[in-house]
A and B are shown apart, each in its own frame.
Chain A
Amino acid sequence: MIRISRILLTLVLAISALPVCAQNFPTKPMRLIVGFPPGGGSDAFARTLGQRLGDQLGQQVVVDNRPGANGNVGAEVAAKLPADGHNLLLISTSQAINVSLYAKLNYDLLKDFTPVAIIGAVPNTVVVKADLPVKNVKEYIALAKTRKLTYASSGSGSPEHLAGEIFSAQAGIKMVHVPYKGSGQSVIDLAGGQVDSGFNTLPSVINMAKQGKVKVLAVTTLKRSNTSPDIPTVNETGLPNYEMSTWYALVVPSATPPEIVQKLNEEVNKAIASTEIKARLFALGADAAESNTTTKASAFIRNEIDRYKSVIQKMGIKNE
């Protein structure tokens, strides 16, 4: 009896000591950390992707919201989790901004995580109140040069705030930034005419725009959005090469075995290529990313971090 149990024990230990190989991965339910509360854009992305990944991999993907500090809390938690491929983190433009925005962070986005893939992006928009006498980006810039315009964003240091600052810098104008807590109230104040203009995600303003309560002048992506192809881009209407979208990407703790990262990359690419996910993201006002390798995702994120760093340094904003 003792011998059998000892053999069993050795076997169990041997199996558990084996490196997790990509063939039988995943071995248990997976956890997808989201740094924002339920109900937001990140959460919607995570739940859409998580469900599909779970179906593809035959294991449940549990979405674990760890909101706080512009997504920093979630990243801090995820950085400390076992790197066996069962722990994933959804990041967005916010975390790439945070690298330069915060004086001190308890994690290192580049060192603590390995990118798996870019999932998709939500375009931002340049939007103005209904009775502001401008019809396009050019007239908007011209008006901003003659009088002080206010613009709303969903918070100090948010992607929308940076979109506004990059826009102002490139256009050579000065506007008053009015920060809000999230996009909800800022859109209401735009529709009520309390602020002159705003930088908001496309899905947050599209309803109001269709009712004529606000005017969407342009989207901030380089190419027009699939969801609203009739709205021009800033790029084509006045400020060449202007781009500032809110993207979402999947990352894992950096010690995760490369073959598992590879496997996850393939699965994510399969998911975002599916018509089901494309349709879901489309309904959310987002565009699914094109198939991308881990190297490409990694380069993209690095490039974004550098871009924001220079903007933030020029603007002199700092969160503590």
Chain B
Amino acid sequence: MSFVIRDQKNFWTGVLYIGFAVAVLLVGRGYNFGSASRMGPGYFPTVLAGLLFFFGLLALIRGMRKEGAPIGPIAWKAAALVLLSMAAFGFLLERAGLPISLVVLIVGCASASDRFRFEWKATMLAIGLILFCVLVFIKGLGLPMPVLGSWFGS
């Protein structure tokens, strides 16, 4: 059987499942397996990983046998901008405080849109959103998030 990917979606689903299953088996090999009547902590993960491997294999085989729709273009830039600015938000929230981390998050993820440009309306909306968050979450609900974070000595 020649190695041809006919159905990209099924093929990569298979790769994803098998990857997960193998990772679970590798990480979980140290857990005590036990027996069916006295299950150890490793029993469930091992059995489930085996099942996932099986479904992964099934998808992989179908991906090479049956024709299917292609995956289509992947929005690397949008994904990277949205996800990285969220990570930056997580990093900055306690260090720089809520308003600053929100500016980074909002500008960062908004720039993922191809309609991103400077406009007054959007800026005012962003400022309004930040004000709303500070007032509602910190002042109103008293969530333990700093206005100014540890970088500013509080």
Residues of chain A having any CB pair with chain B under 8 Å? 16, 28, 31, 62-65
Contact = CB atoms under 8 A, between A and B. Distances in A.
B17 to A, nearest CB: 28
A63 B141 CA distance: 12
Contacts of B142: 62
A65 B143 CA distance: 10
A62 B154 contact: no
8 contacts: A16-B153, A28-B154, A31-B144, A62-B142, A62-B144, A63-B144, A64-B144, A65-B144
A64 B146 CA distance: 12
Interface residues of B, number: 4
Nearest to A65: B144
Interface string B92-119: 0000000000000000000000000000
Overall SS of chain B's interface: loop
A16 B154 CA distance: 12
B144, B153, B154 interface centre (most CB from chain A within 10 Å): B144
B63 to A, nearest CB: 38
A73 to B, nearest CB: 14
A36 to B, nearest CB: 15
A11 to B, nearest CB: 16
What are the 7 closest A-B residue pairs judged by CB atoms, nearest first? Answer: A64-B144, A62-B144, A62-B142, A31-B144, A28-B154, A16-B153, A63-B144
Nearest to A81: B150
Nearest to B146: A31
Contacts of B154: 28
A2 B154 CA distance: 27
Nearest to A32: B144
A31 B146 CA distance: 11
A181 to B, nearest CB: 15
A120 B154 CA distance: 31
Contacts of A64: 144
Nearest to B31: A320
A19 to B, nearest CB: 15
A28 B146 CA distance: 13
A241 to B, nearest CB: 35
Contacts of A62: 142, 144
